[in-house]
Each structure stands twice: as structure tokens, then as C-alpha cells.
Amino acid sequence: MRSSLTLVGTLWAFLSLVTAVASSTSYFLPYWLFGSQLGKPVSFSTFRRCNYPVRGEGHSLIMVEECGRYASFSAIPSLAWQMCTVVTGAGCALLLLVALAAVLGCCMEELISRMMGRCMGAAQFVGGLLISSGCALYPLGWNSPEIMQTCGNVSNQFRLGTCRLGWAYYCAGGGAAAAMLICTWLSCFAGRNPKPVMLAESIMRNTNSYAIELDHCLKS
């Protein structure tokens, strides 16, 4: 089956899929921030957390060692993290849609033209920009009480204290940067220009079909 992408376009489709999967997977994994509480390792993303304290018998705190998302959107520790959740999620969704269309372009003829590829590259730039904005917003939430308890009560905005950034944070940022810089540039050369012969055939085919329909209407 003939592809609507050039050789560069095939590379673009592959990289688009890789960057979209990397950013989206990192978005859902609770490994953006690592710390410790009550002697147990704790990790966060924007809307998920692994290991959290609960009241036990005698009002003592015990750590529940499991991962899960916050019970509601308002339960996310800070406004900055709530904004980060929305902005990063929108960017990941946009990258996934473009990656899906790019992969379909490898299997379907005349799906992605040169202009369409450039428009999709612009969408990738916007998606990467949204994810990058989410990564920039993330440190603004390090002054919330929940984060301070995990980071030695010395953390603040853009200051981690005893915590450290996790690999998922870097993976999300790296995927966004690759989408903005590499994929956007490759998209300019991804689609094929329609051939004049194919355009002429398409015009003639449409003209003939209209003529047949008009003739049918006049006879009826």
C-alpha cells in the first residue's frame, strides 16, 4: 500500500509516536518527584502519589504503601499542580492525536499533503509548548504543606529541600522538547506534494460524476 509520506515523513511519524508515548506515559506515572516521609519513600506526579500517611490506632500516623490518584481535582496539593495537570494533559492529548494521524499516513495514500504535514507540525509545537509550560509550573507547587512534609519541611517554590526530581519529569520535558524542535522541523518535509497527473485525474473524475448526476436529474 502506497504511503502519503516521504522518507523523512516516515521518520517524522516514528519520532512523533515515540515523543507522544514518552510524554503521555510520564504524565500518568507518579515519579516526577521523590522524597521520604516517616522513613518510607514517597513519590508524586501532578495528580498521583505513591505512599501516603493515614491515622492509625492511637492517632499515630502509619504509611500506606500503594500508589493512587487524588480523590478529586480539588484534592491536588496546590493550584500550580492543578494547572499543570490540565495543561500537560492537553499537550499530551494533542501529541497523541498528531502521532495517530502520522502513523495512519504511513499506510494510506493522499492522507497527508505537504501543507497538512506542516499544519500537524504546528500542532505538535503547541502540544510540546503546553507540556513544557506544565513542567515549568510544577516547581511552583513545592511550597504546599504536603510537599514540605515530604521534603524535610525546607522546600519552597523552585527549592526541593531533601527531595529530588524523578525520571518521569525529565522524560516528559524531553519528549516535549523533541516534539517542538525535531518533529516540528521534520513535519515541513513529511507530506508528498500531489502529482499533476493525479490532480487532473481527480478533477476529471469529479467532473464526470457531476455530469452523470446532472444528466440523470434532467431525464427524471
The more confidently predicted of residues 3 and 206 is: 3
Measuring CA to CA, how many Å separate 210 from each of 196, 201, 213, 214?
21, 14, 5, 6
Chain-centroid distance of CA 157 in Å reads 25
Is residue 150 within 8 Å of residue 164, measured between CB atoms? Answer: no
Is residue 174 within 8 Å of residue 168, measured between CB atoms? Answer: no
pLDDT of residue 194: 60
| pTM of the shown model | 0.83
Is residue 34 within 8 Å of residue 140, measured between CB atoms? Answer: no
pLDDT of residue 55: 79
Chain-centroid distance of CA 56 in Å reads 39
Joined grid coordinates for residue 78:
496546590
- Please write the tens of the pLDDT for every residue from 171-189: 999 999 999 999 999 999 9
In this prediction, residues 41-46 reach a mean pLDDT of: 94
Q: Is pLDDT of 76 > 60?
A: yes
Which residue has cell 495537570?
Answer: 85
- Please write the tens of the pLDDT for every residue from 82-105: 999 999 999 999 999 999 999 998
Is residue 190 within 8 Å of residue 112, measured between CB atoms? Answer: yes
CA nearest to 105, candidates 42, 210, 14: 14
